[in-house]
């Protein structure tokens, strides 16, 4: 069975790809795909895109902190990424007295660059196919367990085998991080090797009003005018090797870096995006999509909406709290709105019906052949039964995690304390103290108490079955008459878990583990998670295996058509061209200009997200674009569209022209195609990027950072 899968995948990888859809591995660009890209305007060869023998485009692109992408733009390790990617680091460096989140920051000399504690970047060194190695290990397991079903064995051992291979490869490659990932729903496996740099320093950020212009109002929308970029620098030891922060470190010397495209772009011209897309589910069955919409996204939408109402009250009332929660708010609201848009687009575009038609085609394909029917004939029935059987558990688990794990922050503190050994000299105790120091820098107990009261009430209302309720509800009902607010107030009034001193207090008095209300509250959360997850464990195993079979069947049925693996936060290339689009009877131009920014800024009295400082408005009104003006239109281009295929994780990805020159940074998708993680719609789906010339204009004219402009010109 496994050998058949491998052959199918290798065949698929050699097929000609479509121009706009697909997240392609740079090390697997075959001659047909290379020809297609050349036909659209790519001037680089596959060897110039990816090579382990010499400098290539892959060396310009970095994994930014394992959550975004970035691009090297100077020989001295300067990195461009999105403002929202650097947002957490900028927020941590901000204080009410030195509010660089609001006011922006410019390092005019390298001595002024500020270390971003905890941030790192990763350079991909190479990617290796390890499918055969893992398949052989699986075959050995099958031989050792002849009486057990493949369904059970696949999911019991695949992850552990991948982990073992990953561990062996790390030992064999000292100095490199190695990550083994599954592709094509566990039908292929690759190892990626990275060099990781951990001394990263903030160099430049514009004001929050520019970096987040449009805010939640414009998030996932077009047209956009957001100047969504920030600038960091990578430091290394004197030999150019990774090192922890030290004043002795020097800027990393980079042999290859992206050159700036000053001529801009036109509608229909080639554009490619290279970065680290996080996760897509385009091979998922129709039952899986239905579950995503009706049992998963609903909790993200509903609970985060409630939580954000509470947070906003406190953030608006106190700027110090606003700074503390700025990054948390951005992360929460981003996927809150994403889930809203995804559900709407899946309904509007009929995505489930599209998938059902594909499944009917598959039934027709394997139905007439006994060998195929023996392999695939039961998968749809098993998928339907398993998804139906676990619906209530998945629905409850979504609300549970959003409420108790991601919503009420007190759980994080109490959970760390509950798992800390009662040994003051232990490494674990020191680690807990360190993590708590970082946590409490951005925490407000009064806000969290109000959040707890609101979310506990909300969970009771949304999840009716008591079997999904943690033990705290028995206490709320028996001692507080069902009053969640009274319970929350008592917990916060009596607990030690509201500052770093909790570590020493617990180490001095172990009886607190049995009496502190927050520790008792938190102790039941993982128990209930295990209980809910255990209830659907068998159904989940059936689903995972049969989704794997479904992908295998599709790859075999459509061997002459292109298929790329779902995103899994490994480096991918998407290509196509600059393109406008039409949706709901309205045509959208492929770029925005300065006047469109000023038009929105004129509405800042009615829409808070359109606020701009007076000096920025004056700068834009002058219209003195100089060398940053578009040569064809004479306008200042702010943001632009391509039909490149992106998702979360692609934020900060460089967008290149056919010569491999930097046009801008990808930072968003469009509302009309928010179902893109499930199904790509080539007519509607667009990648929104910030124009590099807009970025340079702000660095030059607003930041007056001549040092950076000169560095970028070298």
pLDDT of 17 > 50? The answer is no
Collapsing DSSP states into helix, strand and coil, what is residue 245?
coil
Segment 509-532 shows an average pLDDT of 96
Q: 514, 538, 562: which is the final residue of a domain?
A: 538
Q: 513, 538, 563: which is the final residue of a domain?
A: 538
Task: In whole angstroms, give the CA distance from residue 79 to residue 652.
Answer: 10
In a domain, 217, yes or no: yes
Contacts of 405 (CB under 8 A, 6+ apart): 411, 525, 529
Q: Which pLDDT score, from 0 to 100, does residue 307 have?
A: 98
In a domain, 675, yes or no: yes
pLDDT of 261 > 90? The answer is yes
In a domain, 390, yes or no: yes
pLDDT of 117 > 50? The answer is yes
pLDDT tens, position by position, 475-490: 999 999 999 999 999 9
Q: Give the domain extent around 373.
A: 286-538
Q: Which pLDDT score, from 0 to 100, does residue 64 have?
A: 98
Q: What is the DSSP letter of 7?
A: H
pLDDT tens, position by position, 606-634: 999 999 999 999 999 999 999 999 999 99
Q: Which pLDDT score, from 0 to 100, does residue 3 have?
A: 39
- Which of 443, 378, 447, 382 minimizes the C-alpha distance to 416? 443
In terms of DSSP bridges, do strands 586-588 and 591-593 run parallel, antiparallel, or are they unpaired?
unpaired
Segment 55-72 shows an average pLDDT of 98
- Helices 537-557, 150-172: axis angle to 10 degrees equals 80
Residue 470: pLDDT band with limits 50, 70, 90: very high
For residues 414 and 297, membership in a common domain is answered with: yes
In a domain, 272, yes or no: no
Lowest mean pLDDT among 25-39, 129-143, 577-591, 601-615: 25-39
The structure tokens 């309205």 sit at 586
Segment 513-537 shows an average pLDDT of 95
- Which of 563, 554, 569, 550 minimizes the C-alpha distance to 653? 569
Q: Which pLDDT score, from 0 to 100, does residue 368 have?
A: 83
Torsion of CA 194, 197, 202, 204, to 10 degrees: -40
pLDDT tens, position by position, 280-309: 999 999 999 999 999 999 999 999 999 999
Q: What is the mean pLDDT of the chain?
A: 94
Task: In whole angstroms, give the CA distance from residue 55 to residue 62.
Answer: 14
Number of domains in the chain: 3
In a domain, 182, yes or no: yes
In terms of DSSP bridges, do strands 177-183 and 114-115 run parallel, antiparallel, or are they unpaired?
unpaired
For residues 296 and 237, membership in a common domain is answered with: no
The structure tokens 């790192």 sit at 120
For residues 44 and 121, membership in a common domain is answered with: yes
For residues 508 and 588, membership in a common domain is answered with: no
pLDDT of 51 > 80? The answer is yes
For residues 241 and 332, membership in a common domain is answered with: no
pLDDT tens, position by position, 404-428: 999 999 999 999 999 999 999 999 9
Residue 20: pLDDT band with limits 50, 70, 90: low
For residues 366 and 407, membership in a common domain is answered with: yes
In a domain, 549, yes or no: no
For residues 353 and 470, membership in a common domain is answered with: yes
On the 0-12 / 13-18 / 19+ scale of CB atoms within 10 A, 601 is: buried
In a domain, 10, yes or no: yes
For residues 131 and 66, membership in a common domain is answered with: yes
- Which of 488, 431, 484, 490 minimizes the C-alpha distance to 461? 484
- H helices of 115-149, in order, are 131-144
In a domain, 567, yes or no: no
For residues 190 and 292, membership in a common domain is answered with: no
Residues with a catalytic annotation lie at 84, 228, 651
pLDDT of 5 > 50? The answer is no
For residues 67 and 184, membership in a common domain is answered with: yes
Q: Which pLDDT score, from 0 to 100, does residue 142 have?
A: 81
Q: 238, 258, 278: which is the final residue of a domain?
A: 258
Contacts of 252 (CB under 8 A, 6+ apart): 76, 77, 197, 233, 234, 235, 236, 240
What's the 3-state SS for 358-422? HHHHHHHHHHCCHHHHHHHCCHHHHHHHHHHHHHHHHHHHHHHHHHHHCCCCHHHHHHHHHHCCC
Segment 570-574 shows an average pLDDT of 97
Which helix (H) or strand (E) is 510 found in, with range? Answer: none
Segment 529-556 shows an average pLDDT of 94
For residues 231 and 146, membership in a common domain is answered with: yes
Q: Which pLDDT score, from 0 to 100, does residue 30 have?
A: 75
Contacts of 592 (CB under 8 A, 6+ apart): 223, 224, 225, 637, 638, 639, 640
More confident residue, 40 or 142: 40
For residues 300 and 249, membership in a common domain is answered with: no
Q: Which pLDDT score, from 0 to 100, does residue 8 have?
A: 40
């Amino acid at each position: 069975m496994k050998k058949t899968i491998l052959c199918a995948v290798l065949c698929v990888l050699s097929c000609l790809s479509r121009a706009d859809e697909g997240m392609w591995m740079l090390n697997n660009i075959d001659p047909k795909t290379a020809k297609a890209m050349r036909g659209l305007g790519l001037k680089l060869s596959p060897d110039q895109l990816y090579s382990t023998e010499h400098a290539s485009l892959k060396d310009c692109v970095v994994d930014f902190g394992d959550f975004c992408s970035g691009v090297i733009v100077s020989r001295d390790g300067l990195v461009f990424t999105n403002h929202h990617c650097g947002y957490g680091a900028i927020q941590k460096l901000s204080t009410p007295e030195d509010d660089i989140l609001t006011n922006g920051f410019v390092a005019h000399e390298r001595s002024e660059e500020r270390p971003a504690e905890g941030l790192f970047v990763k350079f991909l060194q190479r990617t290796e196919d390890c499918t055969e190695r893992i398949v052989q290990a699986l075959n050995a397991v099958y031989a050792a367990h002849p009486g057990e079903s493949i369904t059970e064995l696949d999911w019991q051992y695949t992850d552990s085998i991948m982990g073992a291979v990953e561990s062996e490869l790390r030992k064999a490659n000292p100095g490199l991080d190695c990550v083994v990932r599954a592709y094509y729903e566990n039908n292929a496996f690759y190892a990626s090797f990275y060099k990781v740099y951990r001394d990263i320093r903030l160099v430049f950020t514009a004001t929050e009003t520019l970096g987040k212009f449009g805010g939640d109002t414009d998030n996932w929308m077009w047209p956009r005018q957001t100047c969504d970029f920030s600038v960091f620098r990578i430091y290394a030891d004197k030999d150019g090797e990774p090192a922890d922060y030290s004043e002795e470190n020097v800027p990393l010397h980079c042999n290859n870096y992206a050159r700036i495209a000053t001529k801009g772009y036109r509608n229909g011209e080639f554009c490619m995006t290279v970065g680290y897309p996080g996760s897509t589910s385009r091979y998922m069955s129709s039952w899986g999509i239905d579950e995503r919409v009706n049992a998963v996204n609903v909790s993200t939408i509903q609970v985060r909406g409630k939580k954000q109402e509470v947070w906003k009250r406190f953030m608006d009332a106190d700027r110090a709290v606003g700074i503390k929660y700025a990054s948390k708010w951005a992360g929460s609201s981003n996927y809150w709105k994403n889930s809203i848009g995804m559900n709407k687009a899946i309904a509007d575009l009929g995505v489930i019906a599209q998938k059902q038609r594909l499944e009917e085609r598959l039934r027709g394909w394997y139905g007439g052949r006994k060998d195929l029917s023996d392999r695939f004939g039961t998968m749809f029935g098993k998928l339907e039964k398993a998804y139906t059987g676990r619906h209530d558990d998945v629905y409850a688990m979504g609300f549970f995690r959003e409420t108790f794990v991601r919503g009420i922050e007190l759980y994080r503190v109490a959970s760390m304390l509950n798992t800390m050994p009662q040994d003051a000299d232990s490494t674990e105790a020191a680690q807990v103290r360190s993590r708590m120091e970082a946590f409490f820098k951005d925490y407000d107990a009064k806000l969290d108490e109000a959040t707890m009261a609101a979310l506990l009430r909300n969970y009771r209302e949304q999840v009716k079955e008591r079997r999904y309720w943690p033990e705290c509800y028995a206490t709320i009902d028996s001692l507080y008459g069902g009053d969640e607010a009274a319970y929350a107030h008592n917990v916060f009034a009596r607990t030690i878990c509201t500052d770093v001193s909790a570590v020493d207090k617990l180490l001095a008095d172990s009886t607190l583990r049995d009496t502190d209300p927050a520790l008792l509250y938190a102790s039941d959360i993982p128990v209930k998670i295990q209980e809910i997850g255990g209830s659907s464990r068998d159904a989940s195993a059936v689903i995972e295996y049969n989704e794997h079979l479904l992908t295998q069947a599709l790859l075999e049925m459509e061997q002459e058509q292109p298929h790329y693996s779902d995103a899994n936060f490994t480096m991918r290339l998407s290509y196509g061209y600059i393109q406008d689009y039409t949706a709901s009877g309205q045509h959208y131009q492929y770029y925005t200009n300065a006047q469109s920014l000023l038009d929105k800024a004129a509405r800042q009295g009615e829409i808070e997200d359109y606020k701009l400082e007076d000096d920025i408005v004056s700068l834009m009104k002058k219209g003195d674009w100089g060398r940053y003006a578009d040569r064809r239109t004479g306008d200042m281009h702010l943001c632009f569209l391509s039909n490149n295929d992106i998702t979360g994780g692609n934020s900060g990805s460089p967008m290149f022209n056919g010569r491999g020159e930097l046009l801008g940074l990808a930072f968003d998708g469009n509302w009309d195609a928010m179902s893109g993680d499930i199904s790509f719609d080539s007519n509607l789906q667009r990648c929104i990027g910030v124009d590099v010339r807009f970025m340079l204009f702000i660095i030059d004219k607003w930041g007056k950072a001549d040092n950076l402009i000169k560095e970028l010109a070298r």
